[in-house]
Amino acid sequence: MPDVVIIGGGLMGMLSARELCLSGLQVTLLERGQTGQEASWAGGGILSPLYPWRYPDGVSALAAWSQARYEGLCQDLWRESGVDPEWTLSGLLMLGVAEELEARRWAERWKAVLEVFKGSDPRQWEGALGEGAGIAGLWMPEVAQVRPPRMVRALRQSLEKLGVEVLEGVKATGLLVRNQTITGVATQGASVAAERVVVAGGAWSGQILTESGIHLPVEPVQGQMILFRGQPGLLSKMIMGRGYYLIPRRDGHILAGSTLEYTGFDKSTTAEASKELREAAYTLVPALKSLPVVHQWAGLRPSSPKGIPYIGEHPAIKGLYVNAGHFRNGVVTAPASACLLRDILLERTSSLDPAPYVFPCSPSSRSNSKERREV
């Protein structure tokens, strides 16, 4: 019997599995499809919240902790797997930002390097920018990026090397609970016994818990993106403008994103979204008009009411933990979230304050959980 079963094989689930395994626990990870193929694969990989001063402190704390350690984590994963997650210090240039005072206060509190510019041509910062890109903005030189498809592939191979049992194509259908204590996970096949279960199912986390009568306010929010194929050198910095972003990859591809759509679990792409993203990209960098769009896709972000994830143990069911609800900041906050979850589960003192991320304590979360007996 494993020490811990983790439901969900995205970035959050795999990083949690890695941290727990490195701490000496035997871990089994269940993934309904293939590991790393949902929002973790689809994300842009900017290692900062977009307009970070607009988020609660709980998000900033996770992001700051992760940013300081991301390069080292990527080096470890590269060494373990042979796959380079492409951690790249691109910097983030945000255009048309009027919240100078809020941004400065945020930067001072979190010791972030931030430069304000206004009334000057932003093309002195990035030559490919168009005239309509905006004349006021912020420059954050210490913001890096990773390439999520490579990041999750490196993680998957790392887990194999560490000996984590990864079961793909295995859908969790319910939690096994006896006397308000976790005893395992029911699946479409055989049940998996365990005294500790972590739900890290991304946008599906609320649904997974609802099937066991437990309420967690995490719902899907769709984001569509497109990818331009180009040559390295057209764009050197990540660009944010008018709510859209451009991310240059090392091989010359440029990712443009993203939409924000409340469509349930629908991941369909649309021509309307493609047009919206192309027009936004052309406004920021006119030279993109000459590049082909080679791919369009959609991912489902795990939205929580204030964008603060839930990390910790259920208040009434012993052995049930959750690591979900990161909304648009899953990639940047994942290392901190996984380490905080590890510390809570192992009852260690953490360098991160767990208070902002406690499981929502409502009547439904305390008393309506359906007990299922093992078979």
Q: What pLDDT score was predicted for residue 373?
A: 32
Q: What is the pTM of this model?
A: 0.93
Which of 37-41, 127-131, 137-141, 349-353 is predicted with the least confidence, judged by mean pLDDT?
A: 127-131
| Each residue's pLDDT tens digit, 62-74 | 999 999 999 999 9
Cβ atoms 234, 248 nearer than 8 A: yes
What span, in angstroms and rounded, lies between the C-alpha atoms of 82 and 249?
Answer: 19
- Is the model's pLDDT at 133 over the cut of 80? no
What element of type H or E holds 221?
strand 219-228
What span, in angstroms and rounded, lies between the C-alpha atoms of 67 and 69?
Answer: 5
Cβ atoms 311, 344 nearer than 8 A: yes
Determine the number of helices (DSSP H) and then strands (DSSP E) in the chain: 10, 17
- Is the model's pLDDT at 125 over the cut of 90? no
Relative to beta strand 172-178, strand 165-168 is unpaired
Q: Give the domain 92-141+220-303 fold.
A: D-Amino Acid Oxidase; Chain A, domain 2 (3.30.9)
Tokens 């390097």 locate to: 113
Under the banding of pLDDT at 50, 70 and 90, the label for residue 127 is: confident
Give the percent of the chain with pLDDT over 70.
94
Which 8-state DSSP code applies to residue 135? S
- Tell me the domain boundaries of the chain: 4-43+150-218+306-367, 92-141+220-303
CB burial of 346-368 (b: ≥16 within 10 Å; e: otherwise) equals eeeeeebeeebbebbeeeebeee
CA dist 188 → 170, 174, 207, 326, 374 (Å):
7, 9, 16, 27, 14
Cβ atoms 51, 370 nearer than 8 A: no
Q: Estimate to the nearest angstrom the gap between the alpha carbon of 206 and the chain centroid.
A: 16
- Is the model's pLDDT at 278 over the cut of 50? yes
Relative to beta strand 4-7, strand 27-31 is parallel
3 state DSSP class of 127: coil
Name residue 248's beta-bridge partners. 254
Radius of gyration of the chain (CA): 21
- Burial class of 305 by CB neighbour count within 10 A (0 to 12, 13 to 18, 19+): exposed
What angle is formed at CA 149 by the lines to CA 147 and CA 152, rounded to 5 degrees? 105
**Residue 198 — φ and ψ, nearest 5°?**
-115, 125
Q: What pLDDT score was predicted for residue 257?
A: 94
- Burial class of 209 by CB neighbour count within 10 A (0 to 12, 13 to 18, 19+): buried
Contacts of residue 166, defined as CB under 8 A and 6 or more positions apart, other chains included, come to 9, 17, 28, 29, 31, 35, 156, 159, 160
- Asked: is 4-43+150-218+306-367 a CATH 3.40.309.10 domain? The reply is no
What mean pLDDT comes out for the span 42-60? Answer: 96
What span, in angstroms and rounded, lies between the C-alpha atoms of 100 and 339?
Answer: 33
